Structure 1
Amino acid sequence: MEAEYDFSQGKRGAIDPTSLGKTHITIRLDNEILAWFREQVHNAGGGNYQTLINEALRQHIQQNRQSLEDTLRKVVREELERIER
């Protein structure tokens, strides 16, 4: 071990830069939730639990978006039928 180190060429910040389209955040999850996602990755033989969480959130958003679209279509149809009468 050296007595003194030279950090004059050092750079501050993350060692691994964040990928484009990704944002680094801190989030608090229940222990049980995190354990479940980690277990799913382990049972699958490997992978990244963060990617699995991201995909689950994406699916949830898509399902809610679809549900909203279906509801709006139903309301528009009902209103058009009411107007045509």
Structure 2
Amino acid sequence: MQYDSRLMLDEIQKKREKMIETANRKGFTNDDTIRYSQELDQLIYEYQCLFSNKREDEMRLNFRQMMFIIPQVQVLA
């Protein structure tokens, strides 16, 4: 099976957004938030494993680009 790094980064972004949305609605220690966080960790790990043979600069650029489009987490007091 062939993986596309851009598609995987999109999947990571969607999972991150879902985690942030859930954390804002239900709290950072909510079971759903924790589950999304763990799923996000797994996706990032898989991405790193699959694309570790690529040039490091390309990977850094992809992650850097992804970081700029992540919404800021709003901490509810």
Is TM-score (shorter-chain normalized) higher than 0.5?
Answer: no
What is the TM-score with the length of structure 2 in the denominator?
Answer: 0.33
What is the TM-score with the length of structure 1 in the denominator?
Answer: 0.31
Q: Which has the higher helix share?
A: 2
Which fold has the larger relative contact order, with Cα–Cα distance below 8 Å and residues 6 or more apart in sequence? 2
**Higher Cα radius of gyration:** 1
